[in-house]
Amino acid sequence: MLNKNVEKKLVEQIEKEGYSSSLYLSMASWAECNGFAGIADWMYAQSDEERMHMLKIVKYVNERGGKAIISSIDQPPADFKSVKEMFEMVYEHEQMVTASINDIVGVCLEEKDFTTHNWLQWFVTEQIEEEASVSNILDKLNLLGDQNNLYLFDRDIMGMRSQNDSAE
C-alpha cells in the first residue's frame, strides 16, 4: 500500500509533468510558427516524453493502491522573445522538476517507503540527463551569439537529442 504522504507528493508531480508536457508543446508550436522546424521537433519530442513521465507516475500510484488524480493544468506561455530565452526557460523548468523529484525522494526516506524510493531512482537519473542535455544546448546557443546564426543549430538540434538518448 502506498504511503499517503508519498501519494500526495506523487499526485502533485503528475500535475507538474502534465504542465511540462504542455509547456514544451507550446514551445514547439512557437518554434514551428517561427520557422524553426528542428527546434519544434525537439520540443514535440520533449512534450511526448513528459507526458510519458506523467503516465508512468499515474500507473505507479494506481498500482500501489493509491488514486492518481488528474488536475487541470495551467496554460503555459505562448510567446517567447528568442530561442535562447526559450531554452533558458526550459533549463529553469527542468531544475524545478529536479527539485520536486528530490523532494519526493526525501518524503520517501522520511516515511521509510523504500519501494517508491527505489522506483524514483529512474526519475532522478532522468533529471540528471535532462539538465545536462539542455545545458549543452544553452552552451551551443551561447557560442552562436546573435540570433542570425540559428539555421545550422535548428538543423542539428535533433542530432543533439539523439546523442543524449543513445548515451542512456
Is residue 50 annotated as involved in ligand binding?
Answer: yes
Hey, what amino acid is at 162? S
**Of the candidates 57, 48, 51, which has an alpha carbon nearest to the alpha carbon of residue 104?**
57
Can you tell me the distance from the alpha carbon of 5 to that of 113, in angstroms, rounded to the nearest whole number?
10
Hey, what amino acid is at 112? K
Give CA separation, 133 vs 22, 35, 37, 130, 157, in Å.
Answer: 19, 22, 19, 5, 11
Is residue 130 annotated as involved in ligand binding?
Answer: no
Is residue 15 annotated as involved in ligand binding?
Answer: no
Phi first, then psi: give them for residue 36, nearest 5 degrees: -105, 75
How many residues are recorded in the chain?
Answer: 168
Is residue 94 annotated as involved in ligand binding?
Answer: yes
Is residue 93 annotated as involved in ligand binding?
Answer: no
**Of the candidates 77, 81, 109, which has an alpha carbon nearest to the alpha carbon of residue 3?**
109
* Location of C-alpha cell 506523467: 54
Binding residue positions: 17, 50, 53, 94, 127
Binding residue positions for Fe cation: 17, 50, 53, 94, 127
